[in-house]
Structure 1
Amino acid sequence: MFELVKAGGWLMLPIIACSVVALAIIVERFWSLQQRRVNPRQLVVQIWQMIQAGQLTEDRLRQVRDGSPLGRVLAAGLINMGHTRDVMKEAIEETGRHVAHDLERFLNTLGTIAAITPLLGLLGTVVGMIQVFSVITDVGVGSPGELAGGISQALITTAAGISVAVPSLIFHRYFRGRVDELVLEMEMESIKLVEVIHGEREAAGA
């Protein structure tokens, strides 16, 4: 492996750095975007039960807000549940935009890595071919060993760039879809809470 990196030249260093960053983002996003961490099941039902039992204290509300992204959104509505339905929805929507932005954290970086690593590989190809032509200019085509160095650099950097870009792009698209799915679920749960509190929906159907 070290020999391949060495043969690829200095452009292998940023490609390797991109691969390490991409792997760290992928692992972190898989951990952070789990269903149970973002949208805990039955949270609206639990909140309604606390309201009915008169147990929704400031401490309980803080626990709901800090427990998950969905809890943060619902807590924004609960703080304003004494106001009209529209005010409650506006508070939820405003917080929801911030939460959705947080769920997309690092995805732009992952997308950037997917875009630039093939370009770094292409740059390595260009540098390698320049080296080949320099050798031809200096010693002619009678030195296969000298020519092989530039050609191997061109091929290795291209392969490395594509190898990093493909999984980065796949996971970037996957996490984008995952965030959209989670945000949609969050919106549905928020609507349930608003409708239950304002008597437009039966609690049993929450």
Structure 2
Amino acid sequence: MLNTLINYSIQSMGLIPLLAFIFLLGIAIIIERFMFFSRAVRAGKTLEHDLKLVDAANPDDAAKVAEHYKQTVQGELVKSAMKVKGKSEAVVEREIEETIMFQLPRLDRNLWILDTAVTLGPLLGLLGTIIGMVESFNVLGTSGTANPNGVTGGIGHALTATACGLTIAIICVIFLNYFNKRIRMTVNQFDLIKSLLVSRFAV
């Protein structure tokens, strides 16, 4: 099995190792983003509940909430609101909106790689298919039907590259759509948290 994979890698002109690298990179990003959004969405839900219990007249309540959620993207909104506590509604809202704009890039970090893998995987698979078919036709043209293993070997390389490319695309597109949904959910949480913060910290 290992010798077969090494043989495929060599005869694919490096496409199989490249596809394997893209696959492993995509899996690493999927794991990291999955953990990030699991924490972020869960923190957003509990933060909404905790903010409803905050007494605006008691600064210690808000400080405790900010400290508890300091490692989350939503916690940055609480910290920004505390900086302008007691200011007008417009000032508090503008400060929170600026913080939201700074936090948005954290939500879609590295997702462009998954988006690229969705397109690049099948294209590299197609290129591998072409290389495999050319290899088969070269063997067929050189030795005719006297070397059936050489012909079927090229077809096997072609199908392997296609399968690898499609597998990468399918996995990446599923999780890309999942993460995009999580981004929308987190942005909605931002809006609700902003409303809660403005109502409690603005005068």
After TM superposition, the score normalised by the length of structure 2 is 0.86
- The answer to whether residue 50 in structure 2 is matched with residue 43 in structure 1 is yes
Name the counterpart of 1:134: 138
Q: Which runs of 5+ in 1 are unaligned?
A: 200-206
Name the counterpart of 2:58: 53
Q: Work out the CA distance in 2 between the residues paired with 1:138 and 1:32.
A: 55
Name the counterpart of 1:96: 100
Q: Work out the CA distance in 2 between the residues paired with 1:4 and 1:156.
A: 11
Q: Work out the CA distance in 2 between the residues paired with 1:126 and 1:191.
A: 56
Q: Which amino acid aligns with 2:88?
A: T
Q: Which amino acid aligns with 2:174?
A: I
Q: 1:151, CA displacement in angstroms?
A: 0.7
- The answer to whether residue 164 in structure 2 is matched with residue 187 in structure 1 is no
- Contact map agreement 2:133 2:158 (CA 8 A) in 1: yes
Q: Which runs of 5+ in 2 are unaligned?
A: none
Q: Work out the CA distance in 2 between the residues paired with 1:124 and 1:53.
A: 65
Aligned residue among 159, 164, 171 for 2:168:
164
- Contact map agreement 2:44 2:189 (CA 8 A) in 1: no
Name the counterpart of 1:202: none
| CA root-mean-square deviation | 2.2
Moved over 4 A (4+): 59-62
Name the counterpart of 1:110: 114
Deviations 1:53-104 (A, max 9, x none): 24268x7586256232111012212211232211211111111022121011
- Contact map agreement 1:113 1:168 (CA 8 A) in 2: yes
Q: Work out the CA distance in 1 between the residues paired with 2:127 and 2:5.
A: 15
Identical-residue share of aligned pairs (%)? 27
After TM superposition, the score normalised by the length of structure 1 is 0.84
- Contact map agreement 1:127 1:154 (CA 8 A) in 2: yes
Q: How many residues matched?
A: 196
Aligned residue among 12, 15, 19 for 1:15:
19
Q: Work out the CA distance in 2 between the residues paired with 1:104 and 1:89.
A: 23
